[in-house]
Structure 1
Amino acid sequence: MKSLSTLLAALRLADWATAARGDAATKHTTATSTTANPCSAETFALPPELQDAVLVGVTAVEVRGLTFKPLTPEGRAAIPSSGGVSFCNVTVRYVHKGFDDVTQVQVWLPPAAQWNERFVGVGGGGYSAGQFGSEKVVATLAQGYA
């Protein structure tokens, strides 16, 4: 859990939102690239080593109008957004020093103007790892959570 929280802090989500919103005043140092698109790998540049992890790669892909079967993380029905959901899919891949592993973490960021500045983590632990149904992630994304 410590590695994940360090990774999320390193992604500087508040800086991403500030830059994407175009806020002039900020108490953070923005980590944006010179590109006009805040959903780019350069925006989320990470150091090659972060605590006990070695960065393999960072990608950022803009997704627009994703439609979904509306569910909350608990499996209850959620209100679908009209026209689908748009977001920035930031994927980070890293390895742990001395181990034969590759870890992949995805953070789906809503458009900055819709972000409620809160994060919802969906995942497993122990032997319950892997990708989970996107409908659970998209339901909270539609409510403004990263």
Structure 2
Amino acid sequence: MIVRAGLVAMAVVGMLGGALGAAAVGTAEPATDPILCQYTMSEPRVVEVSGTKMVNASLSPSGCNGTAEPTSAQVCVSTAGSAGRCAELPGYGTAQVYLSPYVPGQSYTVRGRGCADQAQPPLAFCTTLGPTTVTL
């Protein structure tokens, strides 16, 4: 009788251990979105183009994983209450945006998005950067 009770106890512990192990596997962290390519985005800055002061920002791919290749880079600059301007280039190009007129003391916000494709396994993914706001 004592041997039988010991076997039942061991079976219950074994079942609980298996259930707890399955629960631990089931509660693992969700997979994060893949980042196929890294991108570098500049902060907004004042530049002069043909004698006119403007706010400029850029976004460029800075490295990719495995078979991934950048498909586009988009960067936008805006001020509070305005839609601003955006620029986009395909592939490995550096997207540059210019916003005028430059208003001293105003806050400018830059946002970016870089997209890439991967050959194996086939996958397309976009990475969002920013927003970054700077008073110039």
TM-score category (smaller protein): 0.3 to 0.5
Structure possessing the higher radius of gyration over alpha carbons: 2
**Which structure shows the bigger proportion of residues in strand conformation?**
2
TM-score by length of 1: 0.37
**Which structure shows the bigger proportion of residues in helix conformation?**
1
